[in-house]
Amino acid sequence: MTSASMRASLFLALVLCANFFYWECCKAGEEKTLANFPPRGWNSYDSFSWIIDEEAFLQNAEILAQKLLPHGYEYAVIDFLWYRKNVDGAYVDSYGYDSIDEWGRPIPDPNRWPSSRGGKGFTEVAKKVHEMGLKFGIHLMRGISTKAVDANAPILDVHKGGVYSEDGRNWTARDIGLTHRTCGWMQHGFMSVNTDLGAGKAFLRSLYHLYTEWGVDFVKLDCVFGDDYDSKEISSVSQLLEELDRPVVLSISPGTRVTPSMAETIDKYVNMYRITADDWDTWSDVASHFNISRDFASVKKIGAEGLRGRSWPDLDMLPLGWLTDPGVQQGPHRKCYLTLDEQKTQMTLWSIAKSPLMFGGDLRNLDGTTLSLISNPTLLEINFYSSNNLEFPHVYTTEKRLGKKNHIFFKFKETIYQQKHKKKILGLTSCTDERAKGWYASLQTSEPDQICWNLKMKQSGNLSHCLIKFSSDEHVIHNQEHKQYFHLATPQRDFICLDASSGRKGIASERRDIKLTSCKWHASQMWSLNDDGTLVNSYSNSCAAVNSYKVSTTIGGIRSWIATGRRGEIYLAFFNLNPIATRITAKVSEVRDFIGNSFFREGSCNWTEVWSGKNMQPVRTTISATVNSHGCSLFVLTC
Ligand SMILES: *[C@@H]1O[C@H](CO)[C@@H](O)[C@H](O)[C@H]1NC(C)=O
Ligand SMILES: *[C@@H]1O[C@H](CO)[C@@H](O)[C@H](O)[C@H]1NC(C)=O
Ligand SMILES: *[C@@H]1O[C@H](CO)[C@@H](O)[C@H](O)[C@H]1NC(C)=O
Ligand SMILES: *[C@@H]1O[C@H](CO)[C@@H](O)[C@H](O)[C@H]1NC(C)=O
């Protein structure tokens, strides 16, 4: 080897080492322990949108410390626009209501955050939060504010303590703001900075320097990921944070249309990154998390290397309990729209996919059911300590084994009430509407007469929503028509009937609702089935249709996840995404092959189901459960 080539290879080795050490040793003596587990905490967005103030925040933090810190929820995070005046005219993309300091850095709105007056920023708030035993987090937008650019604020050089100068000149906000790269959903608010310039980096450094001086432990950096992807800003901020003495968890968002390959380039720079759009309390939002979390689990992104520690695919906050609506300018005012089954499904998927758990409800109104759900010891154990978390693809629906009694399993009543805010399952429509043509008379001899709605489902064959049909001779006599009219009752024991009286007589307008009321002999409850599959009501002359037909078929099916516990137990979750209760089965032999655990054998394991408390020993050839619509079962298997 010539000395030149030796020098070259030495150099190469040094570069490799430098790269290696860059990620491996951060600061001398510092262990890489940041976000060793998926971070947990509380975030103000789901309950306050952007208008939270100091009093409400500290009240929430206090309850967080009392009730949830013992369960590992340690970060109290203020979400976006804490620098904006909460006055008429201000909104998410408004301009001119934000407070910045002389260096162009957002500072808290003094009216909402009185302790910030006199240049103190969040120092006092952070101090109180720390005294409660919690950690303190804030939300930040990408880059620099339009206000700072318009003001042409000078850039602070934190190393020298004055204006940043380079090449013999002082640099300002206009030099670094990329006016063609504003944030897509806050175009009047923020834009990227040019991180290729020393001045661009100096500005970001001045931001994080200030915020960590205040005592910030967690930053949610928004408008840099998903559709707003800005990998340079992410890596620049990450490197700045690594220079600081204070460890700061870096969380990035949003997560609209994120792919595993997009995450591949940035996961080592951050501690958590959103993999979905904002999650709110609708069933379709919950259901939309299954595929994407499966995809990230399968490429081993859960708990991969991250900034000064690990990184976690983030399924977004838990919008449970007492909430507000997205983007509004008002505080918490309503209960979560999800049913309890849907909430259990959300908590179970978030836990077994090892997502960060950030509770979003107003803690001052935390009810016992929500508290016990988010502090469920098995779920929290799974969320922190389980491993090999994956979607388990080998699950089956076994409709034939339902037995006669269970055949009528569609609970119209529940479904209607569950969906009252968005889409009612049953509605009245014109009899010529294609959506009304799906009814048929069930010909099962052993069952009471039924009228069923035929729902064609890709994954689980055809499933029916059935109603019990009954008629009286009296009624037939009084009706001289050739059509046979009948009542339709729900399959529950307390018969309630389908009633079209909420639609005005004789008018068939789109998407009116059908009521369920006690059965009575009134034309509004009389139905007849036409040959074309329409179910007509004699009073309103309208037809019944299943409104959510499309929704039901696109997000239906069953899912299962599996993981191994730290004591060797196996966690198996069944999820029913169908709009009807469904029996789900897994074969013990397939579970064993999937996890490669030879102890897991027929006859040698016991199981407990978490929600029902039921247990079984020993487990034979299959594990089965009838799972409520949108609900889940969670088995803990010990062998
Ligand atoms: C840069 O700013 C400093 C402090 O404000 C000032 O003293 C200096 O003259 C400025 N330099 C130039 C080149 O404008
Ligand atoms: C989810 O994944 C399944 C299986 O890969 C696929 O068939 C389905 O279309 C996906 N659903 C959505 C909404 O992308
Ligand atoms: C489902 O229904 C369609 C149309 O009614 C029929 O063609 C198909 O064979 C049915 N599938 C099953 C699995 O029963
Ligand atoms: C299963 O349960 C039985 C009865 O409670 C118990 O004797 C046995 O040790 C359990 N087996 C395992 C593997 O936990």
Q: Among the atoms of ligand 1, which is closest to the Cα of residue 169?
A: 13
Hey, which of 396, 397, 457, 462 would you mutate to test ligand 3's pocket, going by the most ligand atoms within 8 Å of its Cβ? Answer: 462
Residue 443 lies in a domain: yes
Domain end position, chosen among 362, 385, 408: 385
Supply φ then ψ for residue 630, to 5 degrees: 65, 10
Residue 16 lies in a domain: no
Q: Does ligand 1 come within 6 angstroms of the Cβ of 158? A: no
Q: Do both 482 and 411 map to the same domain?
A: no
Q: Do both 488 and 567 map to the same domain?
A: no
Q: Does ligand 1 come within 6 angstroms of the Cβ of 162? A: yes
Protein residue whose Cα sits closest to atom 3 of ligand 4: 617
**198 pLDDT higher than 90:** yes
Task: Give the pLDDT confidence of 348-365 residue by residue, as tens digits.
Answer: 999 999 999 999 999 999
- 219 contacts 250 by C-beta, under 8 angstroms: yes
Of 367, 330, 487, 509, the C-alpha closest to 431 is: 509
Query: Tell me, what amino acid is at 156?
Result: L
Mean pLDDT of 164-182: 97
Residue 115 lies in a domain: yes
Q: How many CB atoms lie within 10 A of CB 28?
A: 5
Mean pLDDT of 217-232: 96
Q: Does ligand 1 come within 6 angstroms of the Cβ of 169? A: yes
Residue 207 lies in a domain: no
**403 pLDDT higher than 50:** no
Q: Which ligand is nearest to the CA of 637?
A: 4
Domain end position, chosen among 530, 549, 568: 549
Q: Report the helix count and the strand count for the chain, using DSSP H and E.
A: 18, 38
Task: Give the pLDDT confidence of 625-634 residue by residue, as tens digits.
Answer: 999 889 999 9
C-alpha of residue 380 to centroid of ligand 4, in Å: 24
Of 629, 270, 182, 207, the C-alpha closest to 416 is: 629
C-alpha of residue 614 to centroid of ligand 4, in Å: 14
Most confident of 148-157, 401-410, 473-482, 540-549: 148-157
Task: Give the pLDDT confidence of 469-479 residue by residue, as tens digits.
Answer: 776 544 444 44
Q: Among the atoms of ligand 3, which is closest to the Cα of residue 461?
A: 13
Q: Do both 134 and 275 map to the same domain?
A: yes
pLDDT value at residue 482: 43
Alpha helical stretches, state H, 155-255: 173-176, 198-214, 231-243
Number of domains in the chain: 3
Q: Do both 273 and 381 map to the same domain?
A: yes
Q: What CA–CA distance (Å, rounded) separates 129 from 115? A: 13
pLDDT value at residue 570: 95
Mean pLDDT of 430-442: 81
Tokens of 288: 């939309």
Hey, which of 605, 615, 617 would you mutate to test ligand 4's pocket, going by the most ligand atoms within 8 Å of its Cβ? Answer: 617
Mean pLDDT of 178-189: 96
Task: Give the pLDDT confidence of 502-526 residue by residue, as tens digits.
Answer: 544 444 444 456 777 777 777 888 8
Mean pLDDT of 403-426: 40
Q: Do both 524 and 623 map to the same domain?
A: no
Tell me the CATH number at 517: 2.80.10.50
Tell me the CATH number at 355: 3.20.20.70
The angle at the Cα of 251, spanning 248 to 254, to the nearest 5 degrees, equals 160
Q: Does ligand 1 come within 6 angstroms of the Cβ of 160? A: no
Greatest CA separation for the chain? 110
pLDDT value at residue 590: 92
Q: Do both 363 and 407 map to the same domain?
A: no
Residue 299 lies in a domain: yes
C-alpha of residue 617 to centroid of ligand 4, in Å: 7
Residue 633 lies in a domain: yes
Q: Do both 120 and 255 map to the same domain?
A: yes
**154 pLDDT higher than 90:** yes
Hey, which of 400, 443, 456, 458 would you mutate to test ligand 3's pocket, going by the most ligand atoms within 8 Å of its Cβ? Answer: 456
Mean pLDDT of 52-69: 98
C-alpha of residue 603 to centroid of ligand 4, in Å: 10
Protein residue whose Cα sits closest to atom 1 of ligand 3: 462
**150 pLDDT higher than 80:** yes
Residue 620 domain boundaries: 396-416+555-638
Q: Do both 562 and 628 map to the same domain?
A: yes
Q: Does ligand 1 come within 6 angstroms of the Cβ of 416? A: no
Of 23-27, 371-375, 545-549, least confident by mean pLDDT is 23-27
Q: Does ligand 1 come within 6 angstroms of the Cβ of 102? A: no
Q: Do both 233 and 363 map to the same domain?
A: yes
Q: Which ligand is nearest to the CA of 163?
A: 1
Residue 179 lies in a domain: no
Residue 180 lies in a domain: no
Domain end position, chosen among 549, 573, 605: 549
Q: Among the atoms of ligand 4, which is closest to the Cα of residue 605?
A: 13
Q: Do both 124 and 260 map to the same domain?
A: yes
Q: Do both 233 and 344 map to the same domain?
A: yes
Q: Do both 336 and 471 map to the same domain?
A: no
C-alpha of residue 637 to centroid of ligand 1, in Å: 70
Tell me the CATH number at 634: 2.60.40.1180
Q: What CA–CA distance (Å, rounded) separates 378 from 381? A: 5
Hey, which of 601, 602, 606, 636 would you mutate to test ligand 4's pocket, going by the most ligand atoms within 8 Å of its Cβ? Answer: 606
Q: What CA–CA distance (Å, rounded) separates 359 from 370? A: 10
C-alpha of residue 616 to centroid of ligand 4, in Å: 9
Q: Among the atoms of ligand 1, which is closest to the Cα of residue 170?
A: 1
